């Protein structure tokens, strides 16, 4: 089964935080440290006159306070690129790598760069050298030439921060059995290098880069704790290196040699990356408190935790992500239980004793990484053909298109050899199959007709036939299905009606029992993403069970992981059968490198911001396509209405007049509430929960990149919500029942929340909200309500000796991804 990161993080439910002691005094805690940095060839290249791009200027979106996250790299002054082939690396492009060590000249040391893992032309660490091309700087790791049949060979060693070195040439002789490209420190499955990043005809380009800490790459060690003589603690810094490649290497007619060889390396540009230190803890003896439920608040809690850990009455808070419905039921009792984080109220057949405190305003988003691959039939305009392998940066989706992606209705969502006869319709006597993926769908092309480049593509990635979604139950899944089911065209499609081009829903996912082979229609909305089609392909001889829709298109574990996979271009594509493996198994297909990526993933807005991935614009109830941003999420909050069963809980009701009158609102905006029964018997625990809520609703709503502030991907809570949160905190600490907020005559959604047994409801009801005037619900303009302007906030809790957070049961690969992002607020793509 192709599981990728999803497999590596199996069971990843515990959210942990890494931060540094005394962070308030740390240089990386200041907002201005997240500013972008620009370097130029004129500044850094001593041989700029002979550089491939003498006017090159590279801008990196963030260089300080880094964790495991994404960066955006953009540049000007390049030249129009040619794509790589099986024989050459391409022409006029850039390569990027992360390195840890300093060379004698003060810049990066090429022996410490994570580079070479993909074994593509022009991107290895080693290779034979043409006569006379071995520079003196390369002699130490080169063999001498010995006639035409035995040319010189160079292999740049990799020197790990651990002190170990992988060297294929020692003392002028090859070392048998040693590979400097694939080794114990990095492989094609783990390396973050970019072997090819192209420029458009105007010499400009951009790409996303995955920053790795010591958790993801022990050979680099970035962010490892460094203690100075004065006792201050910082994270080990590293380098981001850009290697310009022209049209041919020294002594060659094309780009086929390593970018680490001196004739190329001497033109590199470098930016120092400063990291937050990893693996520190709270003061010994600090109490550990549990939070449970929504992943949507995880990034904000990561930012708040280091401050809360040292606050008066504050503790170390551990977030265990899982079904919000389960967490709410547990918190509704009087027995001590984790503070629930939820976006919806309890089931109507359960007596709701919870006090609901709004603590976060965020959203769910569909993100993508898709690079251009124009058709080669001679019909593509030259200006589009010239953009081959450059990334798309905008996309529109409707509820019907999302329904298609969630129901395995595109042909490539099923295994290639599976029976796909039910994915299509008959026109006359001819069978017309459904499109193979989203980009071949006339429905998609019509929705995105304002960008005609989409219609000129021939992108056949399997991972564009659906979207990467998390397994298990969640309020995020319910919100997405509610969005789909609120649209008449999407409902009709799911019930079996063909779209205008004849495409039909996969019958196994139909909501109509007369069409669904199970004779029971799929009940929607729901809290999960079922892969209902039972299609299988026969197992290989002596192989495992047959490939089905889950092994073919596997789940991921979290929304955050889906964002990480999108950044890496990893569509979790199943690879070939390895009969010689131990045991024999299907191998994982390596991630697609920039230039050939095609991934769609469901994630939350905080993870999308952290990984700097591009988000889609979604059709809202007012008929506008809106991308997630601070402003569009705030506009949605201004149009939210109360639940019919719980006036403390508000949500974006797609059928309400307020939502339909909010053209600037992002439709998948979601609040997160902290909820607990004030009658819970542990008074100290209730007091701790109250401290958490007060902080989250006050100082925690200040946008910024410093620890303790509100990270990118969240909008500040409306003032009325903050007041409700403080009132709920007071009730929880005092042990008195909560009072419903006084918000005038509430416009009810008229819809039921989750049911007790399954967490599902026959009709949608989301949660959150802003006050509705007593004289009724006027048409919303989409502008933020007055409450969003943020008047006086409650007093901040007293802080005592701000300490660092406790690293809690963090699984490999998750630590950096869970930490707080430090990036400019909401990089919106339209």
**pLDDT per residue over 104-144, tens digit each?**
988 999 999 999 999 999 999 999 999 899 999 999 999 99
83 vs 775, more confident? 83
Pairing of strands 69-76, 205-211: antiparallel
Single pTM value for the model: 0.84
Looking at residue 391, its pLDDT comes to 94
Please tell me the distance from the alpha carbon of residue 57 to that of residue 21, in angstroms, as a whole number: 37
Please tell me the distance from the alpha carbon of residue 447 to that of residue 815, in angstroms, as a whole number: 39
Residues 514-569 have pLDDT tens digits of 999 999 999 999 999 999 999 998 766 656 668 899 999 999 999 999 999 999 99
Please tell me the distance from the alpha carbon of residue 770 to that of residue 747, in angstroms, as a whole number: 11
> How is the chain split into domains, by residue range?
27-273, 288-365+616-818, 369-553+570-602
Alpha helices, H only, 389-543: 399-406, 442-447, 475-485, 488-494
Looking at residue 739, its pLDDT comes to 63
Note whether 641 and 746 are within 8 A (CB). yes
Reading phi first (left if > 0) and then psi (alpha if -120 to 50, else beta), residue 221 is in left
Flag the least confident range among 680-694, 714-728, 778-792: 778-792
Looking at residue 778, its pLDDT comes to 40
Average pLDDT over residues 677-682: 96
Note the CATH number of domain 288-365+616-818.
3.40.190.10
The answer on pLDDT for 746 being more than 50 is no
Reading phi first (left if > 0) and then psi (alpha if -120 to 50, else beta), residue 173 is in beta
Alpha helices, H only, 508-656: 549-552, 559-568, 605-610, 630-638
The answer on pLDDT for 306 being more than 50 is yes
Neighbour-count burial for 355-367, b at 16+ CB within 10 Å, e otherwise: bbbbbbbbbbbbb
The answer on pLDDT for 2 being more than 50 is no
In DSSP terms, 127 is beta-bridged to 154
Looking at residue 540, its pLDDT comes to 66
The answer on pLDDT for 220 being more than 80 is yes
Looking at residue 816, its pLDDT comes to 35
Instruction: Taking the CA atoms of 556, 559, 563 and 566 in sequence, report the sign of the dihedral they define.
Output: positive
Flag the least confident range among 197-201, 264-268, 310-314, 614-618: 310-314
The answer on pLDDT for 788 being more than 70 is no
Note whether 58 and 271 are within 8 A (CB). yes
Looking at residue 798, its pLDDT comes to 37
Note whether 654 and 482 are within 8 A (CB). yes
Q: Which two tokens stand for residue 820?
A: 């707080």
Note whether 180 and 116 are within 8 A (CB). yes
331 Cβ neighbours under 8 A, 6+ residues apart: 292, 337, 338, 339, 340, 354, 675, 676, 677, 680
The answer on pLDDT for 272 being more than 70 is yes
Beta sheet of 93-99, edge-to-edge order: 194-198, 93-99, 238-245, 269-273
**Phi and psi at residue 633, in whole multiples of 5°?**
-70, -40
Note whether 621 and 655 are within 8 A (CB). yes
Q: Which two tokens stand for residue 2?
A: 């192709």
The answer on pLDDT for 781 being more than 80 is no
Average pLDDT over residues 258-282: 90
Flag the least confident range among 57-71, 107-121, 740-754: 740-754
Element (H, E) at 545: none
Among candidates 73, 71, 74, 91, which has minimal Cα distance to 82? 91
679 Cβ neighbours under 8 A, 6+ residues apart: 334, 353, 735, 737
Peptide bond into 151 cis (omega under 30): no
Looking at residue 34, its pLDDT comes to 58
Please tell me the distance from the alpha carbon of residue 3 to that of residue 444, in angstroms, as a whole number: 28
Element (H, E) at 305: helix 298-308
Instruction: Taking the CA atoms of 607, 611, 612 and 613 in sequence, report the sign of the dihedral they define.
Output: negative
Flag the least confident range among 121-130, 144-153, 413-422, 762-771: 762-771
Note whether 348 and 39 are within 8 A (CB). no
Average pLDDT over residues 578-587: 79
In DSSP terms, 227 is beta-bridged to 233
The chain-wide mean pLDDT, for the chain, equals 85
A 10 A CB-CB count for 814 gives 25
Instruction: Choose from 3-17, 309-323, 599-613, 698-712 the range with maximum mean pLDDT.
Output: 599-613
Interaxial angle between packed helices 475-485 and 399-406, expressed in degrees from 0 to 180 and rounded to the nearest 10: 130
**Phi and psi at residue 798, in whole multiples of 5°?**
-65, 135
Please tell me the distance from the alpha carbon of residue 447 to that of residue 435, in angstroms, as a whole number: 16
Per-residue 3-state assignment (H helix, E strand, C coil) for 177-203: CCCCCCCCCCCCCCCCCEEEEECCCCC
Among candidates 767, 769, 759, 294, which has minimal Cα distance to 525? 759
Residues 394-411 have pLDDT tens digits of 999 999 999 999 999 999
Pairing of strands 288-293, 585-588: unpaired
């Amino acid at each position: 089964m192709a599981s990728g990161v999803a497999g590596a993080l199996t069971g990843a439910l515990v959210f942990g935080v890494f931060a540094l002691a005394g962070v308030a005094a740390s240089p990386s805690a200041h907002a201005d440290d997240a500013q972008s940095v620009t370097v130029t060839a004129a500044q850094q290249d001593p041989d700029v006159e002979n550089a491939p791009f003498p006017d090159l200027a590279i801008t990196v979106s963030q260089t300080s306070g880094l964790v495991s996250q994404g960066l955006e790299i953009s540049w000007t002054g390049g030249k129009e690129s040619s794509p790589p082939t099986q024989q050459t690396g391409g022409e006029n492009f850039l390569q990027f790598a992360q390195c840890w060590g300093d060379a004698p000249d003060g810049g990066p040391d090429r022996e410490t760069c994570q580079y070479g893992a993909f074994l593509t032309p022009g991107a290895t660490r080693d290779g034979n050298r043409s006569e006379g091309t071995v520079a003196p700087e390369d002699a130490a790791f080169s063999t001498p030439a010995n006639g035409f049949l035995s040319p010189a060979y160079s292999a740049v060693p990799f020197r790990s921060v651990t002190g170990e070195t992988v060297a294929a040439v020692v003392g002028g002789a090859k070392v048998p059995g040693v590979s400097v490209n694939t080794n114990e420190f990095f492989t094609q499955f783990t390396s973050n290098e970019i072997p090819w990043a192209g420029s458009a005809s105007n010499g400009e380009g951009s790409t996303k880069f995955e920053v790795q800490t010591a958790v993801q790459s022990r050979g680099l060690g970035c962010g490892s704790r460094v203690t100075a003589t004065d006792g201050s603690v910082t994270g080990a810094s590293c380098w981001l290196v850009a290697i310009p490649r022209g049209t041919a290497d020294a002594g060659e007619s094309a780009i086929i040699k390593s970018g680490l060889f001196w004739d190329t390396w001497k033109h590199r540009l470098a930016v120092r990356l400063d990291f937050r230190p990893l693996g520190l803890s709270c003061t010994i003896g600090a109490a550990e408190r549990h939070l449970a439920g929504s992943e949507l608040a995880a990034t904000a809690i990561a930012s708040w935790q280091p401050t809360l850990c040292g606050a008066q009455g504050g503790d170390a808070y551990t977030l265990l992500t899982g079904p919000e419905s389960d967490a709410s039921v547990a918190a509704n009792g009087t027995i001590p239980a984790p503070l629930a984080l939820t976006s919806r109220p309890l089931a109507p057949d359960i007596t709701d004793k919870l006090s609901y405190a709004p603590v976060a305003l965020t959203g769910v988003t569909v993100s993508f990484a898709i690079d251009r691959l124009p058709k080669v039939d001679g019909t593509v305009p030259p200006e589009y053909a010239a953009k081959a392998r450059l990334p798309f940066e905008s996309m529109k989706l409707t509820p019907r298109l999302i329904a298609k992606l969630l129901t395995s209705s595109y042909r490539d969502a099923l295994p290639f050899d599976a029976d796909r006869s039910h994915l299509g319709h008959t026109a006359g006597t001819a069978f017309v199959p459904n499109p193979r993926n989203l980009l071949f769908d006339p429905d998609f092309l019509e929705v995105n007709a304002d960008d005609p480049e989409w219609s000129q593509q021939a992108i056949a990635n399997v991972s564009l036939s659906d979207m990467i979604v998390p397994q298990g139950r969640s309020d995020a899944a319910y919100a997405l299905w509610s969005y789909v089911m609120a649209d008449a065209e999407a409902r009709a499609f799911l019930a079996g009606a063909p779209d205008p081009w004849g495409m039909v829903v996969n019958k196994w996912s139909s909501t109509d029992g007369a069409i669904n082979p199970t004779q029971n229609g799929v009940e929607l909305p729901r809290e999960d993403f079922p892969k209902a089609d039972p299609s299988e392909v026969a197992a290989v001889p002596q192989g495992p069970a047959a490939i089905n829709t889950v092994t073919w298109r596997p789940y991921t574990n979290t929304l955050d992981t889906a964002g990480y996979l999108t950044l890496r271009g990893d569509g979790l594509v199943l690879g070939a059968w390895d009969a010689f493996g131990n045991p024999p198994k299907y191998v994982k297909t390596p991630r697609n490198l920039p230039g050939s990526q095609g991934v769609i993933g469901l994630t939350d807005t905080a993870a999308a911001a952290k990984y700097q991935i591009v988000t889609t614009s979604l059709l809202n109830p007012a008929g506008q396509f809106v991308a997630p941003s601070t402003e569009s999420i705030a506009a949605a909050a201004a149009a939210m209405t109360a639940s019919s069963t719980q006036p403390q809980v508000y949500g974006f009701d797609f059928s309400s007049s307020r939502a339909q009158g909010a053209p600037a609102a992002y439709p998948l905006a979601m609040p997160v509430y902290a909820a607990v029964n004030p009658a819970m018997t542990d008074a100290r625990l209730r007091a701790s929960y109250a401290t958490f809520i007060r902080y989250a609703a006050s100082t925690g709503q200040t946008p910024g990149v410093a620890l303790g502030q509100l990270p990118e991907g969240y909008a500040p809570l409306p003032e009325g919500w903050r007041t409700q949160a403080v009132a709920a905190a007071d009730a929880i600490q005092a042990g008195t029942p909560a009072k419903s907020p006084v918000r005038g005559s509430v416009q009810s959604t008229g819809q039921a929340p989750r049911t007790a047994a399954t967490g599902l409801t026959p009709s949608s009801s989301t949660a959150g909200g802003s006050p509705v005037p007593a004289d009724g619900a006027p048409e919303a303009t989409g502008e933020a309500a007055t409450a969003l302007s943020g008047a006086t906030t409650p007093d901040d809790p007293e802080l005592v000796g701000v300490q660092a957070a406790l690293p809690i049961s963090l699984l490999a690969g998750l630590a950096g991804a869970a930490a707080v992002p430090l990036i400019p607020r909401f990089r919106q793509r339209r």
